[in-house]
Amino acid sequence: MAEIISADELRALIDQTYRVEEEYVALRRSYEHLQSTIEQVIEFLPNAIWIVDPDGRIFLQNSQANALEDLFGILRLDEEDYEITFHDRSYLIKSALHNDKRLLSATDITEQKRKENLATMGQMAAHLSHEIRNPIGSIALLTSTLLKRVKEENRPIVEEIQKSLYRIERIIKATLMFSKGVSAQKTPLRWLQIRESLENAIGYYSYGKKITFSFPHEDFELQGDLDLLVMLFSNFVFNAIDAIELDEEEEGHVEIVHSEEGAFHLFEIYDSGIPIENKKWLFEAFRSTKLKGNGLGLVLSKNIAESHGGEIALCEGERKGFRISLLR
């Protein structure tokens, strides 16, 4: 015969059932709160985070990881620390096993790698520049002596050698400046000083087409480093000349337009040469689409402008050019 449960026993059983249910609900809330806290923590982290089940399925991930869904597909789950390249970006992958879950993190180290590579390339370039500088100086001195004695029909040959030496000297100067950093020694100066130096520099630059130059004729005062500002403007003018040389037209034009806006001098430099390619590389050191140069001209120009309280940007509109601002 079945045992008869008393009313008190039944009441105690029901109370116990309620307590178990309440404990379950509290435990579930605690678990959900813990999971929510974990989600908030990993969402706060700047790198991509995945928590993976033993079968390789994603148990939890943050928004950064969600944006790198394709990257997760090529990760090596059995390795702890390694670097990987994905879509032209470099990532440091770290992995750790905790209980039955594996924690993976991906940190974007592209900028760090770029700076390390630039530092190494800068050191190598500076060393080579120092080694090259002395023989180039000797050649330049001998060429100047030769120019005084050469026959008139051979004079263009010697002058072309001088122009080539000038180009090498510019590359050496730019490389050494890049390795040391730009430091502006500002003094009051006039635009006509910059213009005169710029015109002299163009005379040493080698090009084959007929190119006309239009520079501001009015004189005005600037606060700046004459040598650095001449380098800034000559870099843009020489880039313009190179772009015109690659154009199909037989002639070309380079124009500098000046205006003032508040506390700034504004210069817009236009040319009729080929369009600008790979705009994302414009201010990337040692990256150049030109046959001439070493990819430092625009980088140094940007640094020079910033050292004078200004900046450089592409001109917006139909005409191809750059906009330079300098603090007055």
pLDDT score, position 80: 81
pLDDT < 50 regions, the chain: 1
Coil vs helix vs strand at 239: helix
Q: For 195, phi and psi rounded to 5 degrees?
A: -60, -45
The predicted pLDDT at position 38 comes to 55
In DSSP terms, 49 is beta-bridged to 105
Q: Report which of 4, 286, 304, 81 is spatially closest to residue 171, judged by C-alpha positions.
A: 286
The amino acid occupying position 144 is S
Give the per-residue pLDDT at 240.
93
In whole angstroms, give the CA distance from residue 76 to residue 234.
50
For the chain, domains (ranges, CATH) are 17-108 (3.30.450.20), 110-181 (1.10.287), 184-328 (3.30.565.10)
Predicted local confidence at residue 81, as pLDDT: 87
Distance between CA atoms of residues 230 and 238, nearest Å: 12
What phi and psi, each to the nearest 5 degrees, are found at residue 190?
A: -110, 150
- The tens digit of pLDDT for each residue in 105-149 reads 888 888 888 777 767 766 776 777 777 778 888 888 888 888 888
Q: Is the pTM of this model over 0.85?
A: no
Cα(153)–Cα(268) distance, integer angstroms: 40
pLDDT, one tens digit per residue, over 278-314 is: 777 777 766 665 555 556 778 888 999 999 999 999 9
pLDDT at 176: 74
Beta strands in the chain (DSSP E): 48-52, 58-61, 81-86, 89-98, 101-108, 187-190, 210-214, 221-224, 251-261, 264-271, 311-314, 321-327
Contacts of 64 (CB under 8 A, 6+ apart): 45, 46, 47, 48, 49, 106
Q: Rounded CA gap, 282 and 160, in Å?
A: 29
Secondary structure element (H or E) that encloses residue 230, with its range:
helix 226-245
Within 10 angstroms of residue 269's Cβ, the number of other Cβ atoms is 22
